[in-house]
Amino acid sequence: MPVSFHPMPIDAQWLASFQEKLDQHYSWPSSYTFKFIVPRGREEELKKLFPLHVITTKESQKGNYTSLTIEMTMGSGRAVIDVYQKASVVNGIIAL
């Protein structure tokens, strides 16, 4: 279930709704695939946040952006949100 996430302050009501949707679609613990897009040169910032995970990367056609995919076993919808919030510190990140 792709969910767009905006790396800006999100109100508590939106977070609660997102967590509710995650909990409706997943049975925890569950494998969850995170997909991020970062401007070229920012890949290492994201990788440093998740040093214990395998991260696959793919450069955009023009080379201006890189997509990064991380598959993690998550224990709850709240844990998924925590990962998105952790990744939101990377300048210019787009989370899908």
pLDDT tens digits for range 39-56: 999 999 999 999 999 999
Average pLDDT, the chain: 88
Q: Which domains does the chain have, with CATH numbers?
A: 12-88 (3.30.70)
Band (12; pLDDT cuts 50, 70, 90): confident
Give the pLDDT confidence score for residue 10 in this predicted structure: 61
Residue found under tokens 């990367």: 57
Q: Is 84:5 a contact under the CB 8 Å cutoff?
A: yes
The residue-averaged pLDDT of 58-71 equals 95
Q: What percent of the chain has pLDDT over 70?
A: 90
Q: Reply yes or no on whether the pLDDT at 5 is more than 50.
A: no
SS3 label, residue 83: helix
Terminal C-alpha separation, the chain? 10
Which residue did the predictor score with more confidence, 88 or 29?
Answer: 29
Band (60; pLDDT cuts 50, 70, 90): very high
